């Protein structure tokens, strides 16, 4: 499947209705790396009823026990760190679940939701995230419909995103993405999409934290014209004020990224998809295959 066609599957992925049966629990741990790990990060900003720990490591936190809902997310099912985390969680007696298209994780005999194979993991963000959201948040059918509709709109018209990619490409600039709660993890998702799709280094951070560090180099760094600054618009007036004042006192212009949708669910997936299209177009302008992750695969083989 062409990468652009992979992107177009997101509007259907958000309708993926699978969920885990869970009973009482005291915390949630979600383990995964890269394009799979982002599922836990996105979920953790939508849910705050119980503690959520997002693990991107071989090891798991000490607090994991039989009251932990432990969800391993790996598209391939063969990611070394995630498999190691699953073994550790099983030893601790946690309630272990998996979301995968197959691989070793799919054969471990744990409670598993199988998702379709044949996509890049990062293009399966809906399949990877929905089972977690369905289990713990249960979005309304209206929210799902809204998300699917605005994702389809973006598939049909992504000229705004193409123009941003054109500006980045024209100056061969390094993307800097600034988010704010509840989209901090989506700023990071964009960074990783720039990395894997367009093969450019990128940097992400978020308000208001960046007002306590980045704000100095935003005013005083060298090579400032080599960066392309973007900031997600926010519904929070306090954050909007910070964005304005930061631009003013540092003499920096941020490209404002609008967020469509009413529910947090729809807004989150919309913003994810905006990043998908900017990074896809940048890859295209560079003449680069957005699907190519050969260096990552090579590294995995060499350390196996």
Site for ligand F6R in 83-122 (CB under 6 A): 120-122
The 3-state secondary structure of 43-101 reads HHHHCCCCCEEEECCCCCCCCCCCCEEEEEEECCCCCHHHHHHHHHHHHCCCEEEEEEC
Site for ligand F6R in 194-223 (CB under 6 A): 196
Site for ligand F6R in 19-58 (CB under 6 A): 33-36
- Per DSSP, what are the bridge partners of residue 245? none
In the residue annotation, 281 being an active-site residue is answered as no
Given 138, 212, 248, 301, which residue is catalytic? 212
Specify the DSSP class assigned to residue 224.
Answer: G
**How near is the Cβ of 290 to ligand F6R at its closest, in Å?**
10
**How near is the Cβ of 283 to ligand F6R at its closest, in Å?**
13
C-beta neighbour count of 217 within 10 angstroms: 13
**How near is the Cβ of 72 to ligand F6R at its closest, in Å?**
9
Name the residue with tokens 């379709």.
116
Q: Which two tokens stand for residue 252?
A: 């920096």
Q: Among 82, 185, 205, 234, which residue interacts with ligand F6R (rule: CB under 6 A)? A: 82
C-beta neighbour count of 42 within 10 angstroms: 27
Nearer to ligand F6R, 43 or 229 (CB): 43
Measured between alpha carbons, how far is 13 from 8 in angstroms, rounded to an integer?
Answer: 9
275 binds ligand F6R (CB under 6 A): no
In the residue annotation, 300 being an active-site residue is answered as yes
- Helix 264-286 and helix 141-156, axial crossing angle in degrees, nearest 10: 20
Q: Among 44, 76, 112, 161, which residue interacts with ligand F6R (rule: CB under 6 A)? A: 76
Residues classed as catalytic:
196, 212, 300
Instruction: Using CB under 6 A, list all residues that contact ligand F6R.
Output: 33-36, 74-76, 79, 82, 120-122, 196, 293, 296
């Amino acid at each position: 499947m062409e990468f652009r066609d992979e992107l177009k599957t997101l509007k259907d992925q958000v309708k993926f209705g699978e969920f885990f049966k869970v009973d009482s629990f005291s915390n949630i741990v979600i383990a995964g790396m890269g394009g799979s790990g982002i599922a836990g990060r996105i979920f953790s900003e939508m849910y705050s009823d119980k503690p959520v720990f997002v693990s991107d490591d071989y090891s798991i936190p000490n607090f994991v026990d039989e009251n932990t809902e432990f969800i391993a997310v790996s598209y391939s099912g063969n990611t070394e760190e995630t498999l190691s985390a699953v073994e550790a969680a099983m030893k601790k007696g946690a309630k272990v679940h998996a979301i995968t298209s197959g691989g070793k994780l799919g054969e471990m005999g744990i409670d598993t939701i199988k998702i379709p194979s044949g996509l890049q993991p990062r293009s399966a963000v809906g399949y990877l995230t929905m089972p977690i959201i369905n289990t713990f948040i249960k979005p309304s059918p209206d929210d799902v419909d809204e998300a699917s509709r605005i994702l389809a709109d973006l598939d049909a018209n992504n000229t705004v995103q193409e123009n941003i990619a054109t500006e980045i490409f024209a100056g061969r600039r390094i993307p800097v993405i600034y988010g704010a709660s509840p989209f901090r993890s989506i700023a990071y998702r964009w960074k990783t999409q720039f990395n894997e799709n367009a093969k450019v280094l990128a940097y992400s951070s978020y308000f208001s934290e960046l007002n306590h560090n980045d704000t100095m180099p935003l005013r005083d760094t060298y090579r400032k014209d080599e960066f392309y600054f973007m900031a997600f618009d926010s519904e929070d007036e306090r954050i909007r004020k910070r964005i304005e004042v930061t631009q003013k006192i540092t003499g920096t212009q941020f490209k404002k990224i609008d967020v469509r949708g009413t529910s947090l669910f729809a807004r989150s997936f919309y913003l994810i998809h905006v990043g998908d299209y900017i990074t896809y177009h940048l890859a295209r302008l560079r003449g680069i295959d957005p699907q190519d992750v050969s260096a990552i695969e090579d590294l995995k083989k060499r350390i196996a």
